[in-house]
C-alpha cells in the first residue's frame, strides 16, 4: 500500500469522526442511525397472503436496505430487559400488536419502519438525509383525510403518514409517543384482560367488547406528537403502496 493511499484512508477516518462529533454537538441530536435497517412486524402465526409477500419482496428489492421481519419467533431478541413488553400486549389484536411494536422499536432501537407494503424507490438517501440533519424523523407527507387526531385533521400537509418512517431513537418525539401509548394501555389493562381481541383486526365496536378503537393506540398519538415536533421532521421518504396488499 502506498503512503498516499494510507494517508487518504487515515484522513477519511479522522474527518468522519470529526464530522460526527461536530454534528452531534452542533445540533444536540441523538446518536446517528448506524445501519440501513427497516423493521416490519408480523405478529401472529398465520401465513402472509400471496399479495402481502409480493409487497414484502418489493420493499426488500426497492428500498435497498436490510429489511428485518419481526415475528413471535424472534421478537424477544429485540425486547430490552429494562423495558419489557407491557402486560396488555398479549391481549391486543394483531394490528394493535404491530402498532405497539413500531412505537417500541422507533423509541428504543430507531431505524426504519414500514408496513408490509411496497415502495417505489430506495430509502438509503433518506437515512443519510436524516443522519446528516438535526431532524428526528423522516417520513412521507400525510394525505388529506388521513389524520387520526381530530384537532389536527386540517393540518395534514404538516404531518407525516403512519405507514413508514425512519426515526432516531430516544428523542422527545419517540419518548412522548411511546409513553402516551403505555399510559393508554395502563388505563385499558383491566378491560383488555376481560375482553381480549378475538380477531386479527379487532377494534372497539367491531367483533367483540375489545376496548381499543382502531386508531386510538397509534394514529391519534403519533399525529399529536408529530405536530408538536413538526420542525423535527423530514418528508422525503417514498410513500408506501396502499393498494391491493392484503
Mean pLDDT confidence for 145-170: 97
CA–CA separation, 119 and 140 (whole Å) = 11
What residues contact 214, with CB distance under 8 A and at least 6 apart? Answer: 95, 203, 204, 206
Sequence-distant (6+) residues with CB within 8 A of 227 are 149, 152, 155, 158, 159
How do strand 66-70 and strand 37-41 relate by DSSP bridges? parallel
What does the alpha-carbon distance between residue 146 and residue 222 come to, in Å, rounded to a whole number? 12
**Res 144: pLDDT:** 96
Rounded to whole angstroms, how far apart are CA atoms 58 and 54? 6
Would you say 136 and 167 are in contact if contact means Cβ atoms under 8 Å apart? Answer: yes
What is the distance, to the nearest Å, from the Cα of residue 18 to the centroid of all Cα atoms in its chain?
Answer: 29
3-class DSSP state of 180: helix
> pLDDT grade, residue 208 (50/70/90)?
confident
Tens digits of per-residue pLDDT, 10-58? 444 434 433 333 333 333 445 688 899 999 999 988 889 999 999 999 9
Q: For residue 236, what are the CA distances in angstroms to 160, 178, 229?
A: 10, 24, 17
| Residues 110 and 32 sit within 8 Å (Cβ to Cβ) | no
Instruction: Give yes or no for a contact between 114 and 52, defined as CB atoms under 8 angstroms apart.
Output: no
Band the pLDDT of 3: cuts 50, 70, 90.
low
- Position with higher pLDDT, 76 vs 5: 76
* Residue whose C-alpha is closest to residue 103's, from 208, 217, 241, 229: 217
| pLDDT for 164 | 97
Radius of gyration from C-alpha coordinates of the chain: 19
Is residue 244 pLDDT above 70, yes or no? no
Q: Which three cell numbers stand for residue 60?
A: 426488500
What tens digit of pLDDT does each residue of 92-142 get? 999 999 999 999 999 999 999 999 999 999 999 999 999 999 999 999 999
Amino acid at each position: 500500500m502506498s503512503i498516499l493511499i494510507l494517508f487518504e484512508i487515515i484522513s477519511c477516518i479522522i474527518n468522519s469522526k470529526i464530522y460526527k462529533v461536530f454534528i452531534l454537538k452542533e445540533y444536540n441530536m441523538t446518536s446517528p442511525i448506524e445501519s440501513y435497517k427497516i423493521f416490519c412486524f408480523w405478529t401472529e402465526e398465520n401465513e402472509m397472503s400471496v399479495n402481502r409477500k409480493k409487497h414484502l419482496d418489493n420493499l426488500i428489492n426497492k428500498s435497498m436496505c436490510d429489511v428485518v421481519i419481526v415475528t413471535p419467533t424472534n421478537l424477544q431478541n429485540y425486547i430490552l430487559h429494562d423495558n419489557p413488553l407491557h402486560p396488555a400486549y398479549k391481549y391486543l389484536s394483531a394490528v394493535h400488536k404491530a402498532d405497539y411494536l413500531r412505537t417500541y422499536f422507533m423509541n428504543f432501537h430507531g431505524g426504519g419502519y414500514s408496513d408490509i407494503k411496497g415502495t417505489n424507490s430506495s430509502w438509503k438517501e433518506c437515512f443519510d438525509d436524516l443522519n446528516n440533519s438535526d431532524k428526528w424523523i423522516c417520513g412521507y407527507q400525510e394525505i388529506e383525510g388521513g389524520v387520526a387526531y381530530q384537532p389536527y385533521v386540517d393540518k395534514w400537509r404538516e404531518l407525516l403518514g403512519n405507514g413508514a418512517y425512519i426515526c432516531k431513537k430516544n428523542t422527545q418525539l419517540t419518548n412522548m409517543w411511546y409513553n402516551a401509548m403505555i399510559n393508554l394501555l395502563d388505563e385499558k389493562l383491566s378491560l383488555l384482560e376481560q375482553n381480549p381481541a378475538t380477531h386479527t383486526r379487532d377494534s372497539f365496536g367491531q367483533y367483540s367488547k375489545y376496548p381499543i378503537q382502531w386508531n386510538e393506540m397509534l394514529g391519534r398519538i403519533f399525529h399529536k406528537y408529530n405536530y408538536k415536533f413538526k420542525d423535527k421532521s423530514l418528508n422525503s421518504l417514498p410513500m408506501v403502496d396502499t393498494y391491493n396488499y392484503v
